[in-house]
């Protein structure tokens, strides 16, 4: 049985802005993002970190927001799907998914896009096997796998053309592990 801890203020940096939330430090980050900060990109899928619908970037690295307690993320740089856009428009990965119709119901789309952004930040020229390996733990129940793979391949070209890296990628020489 989980014991509750008294709510306390916790500072976060989400999509480039500093926020303070008052919550139980054991609260899953996903709940804070969706309920308190009204960011609906990350989805609640399985609640176990298995499906990838809740994926976000933490210090440029893709992680599952449903399994990370709020206390483990304080002071880290968090980017959600909403934070990928700029004043100039969509991130090239987002644009590629639109161009290639990389979604049917769209529930897995957040995770697929976030994982792709992280992949291209660490490997700007992935081979087909690299793409499939990166996406292997993200579930699409609609079966749009062919379109998703096409979108990632297109994103490779768009990101090269735009010379885009993941937000905060490379900001630290060694990204610490996010631990529960």
Domain chopping of the chain, boundaries: 8-84, 92-162
* SS3 state of residue 158: helix
The total number of residues shown for the chain amounts to 180
pLDDT by position in tens, the chain (length 180): 566 778 889 999 999 999 999 999 999 999 999 999 999 999 999 999 889 999 999 999 999 999 999 999 988 999 999 999 988 899 999 999 999 998 888 889 999 999 999 999 999 999 999 999 999 999 888 888 899 999 999 999 999 888 755 454 433 333 334 443
Q: Which residue, 84, 75, 27, 26, is CA-closest to 55?
A: 84
And the tokens for 68?
């990370």
CATH number for the domain formed by residue range(s) 92-162: 1.10.150.120
The fold of 8-84 is Ubiquitin-like (UB roll) (3.10.20)
Give the residues across from 58 on adjacent strands: 61, 78
Task: Enumerate the β-bridge partners of residue 62.
Answer: 57
pLDDT, residue 75, reads 87
Beta strands in 3-85 (DSSP E): 8-14, 17-23, 55-58, 61-64, 77-79
CA-to-CA dists, residue 137 to 53, 62, 112, 140, angstroms: 10, 12, 10, 10
**Residue 70 dihedral angles phi and psi, to the nearest 5°:** -50, -40
pLDDT at 165: 54
* Partners of 77 in beta bridges: 13
Letter string b/e over residues 114-152, b meaning 16 or more CB atoms within 10 A of that residue's CB: bbbbbbbbbeeebeeeebeebbeebbbeeebeebbbbbb
Among 60, 156, 164, 154, residue whose Cα is nearest residue 114:
60
Q: How far apart are the C-alpha atoms of 155 and 115, rounded to whole Å?
A: 12
């Amino acid at each position: 049985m989980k014991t509750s801890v008294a709510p306390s203020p916790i500072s976060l940096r989400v999509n480039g802005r500093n926020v303070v939330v008052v919550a139980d430090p054991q609260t899953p980050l996903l709940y804070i993002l969706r309920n308190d900060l009204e960011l609906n990109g990350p989805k609640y899928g399985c609640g176990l970190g298995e499906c990838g619908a809740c994926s976000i970037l933490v210090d440029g690295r893709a992680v599952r927001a449903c399994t990370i307690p709020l206390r483990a993320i304080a002071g880290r740089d968090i980017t959600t799907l909403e934070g990928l856009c700029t004043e100039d428009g969509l991130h090239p990965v987002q644009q590629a998914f639109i161009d290639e119709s990389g979604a049917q119901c769209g529930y897995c789309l957040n995770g697929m896009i976030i994982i792709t952004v992280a992949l291209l930040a660490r490997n700007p020229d992935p081979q087909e096997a690299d793409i499939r390996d990166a996406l292997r733990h993200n579930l699409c129940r609609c079966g749009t796998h062919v379109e998703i793979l096409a979108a990632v391949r297109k994103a490779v070209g768009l990101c090269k053309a735009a010379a885009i890296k993941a937000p905060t990628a490379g900001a630290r020489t060694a990204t610490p592990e996010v631990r529960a």
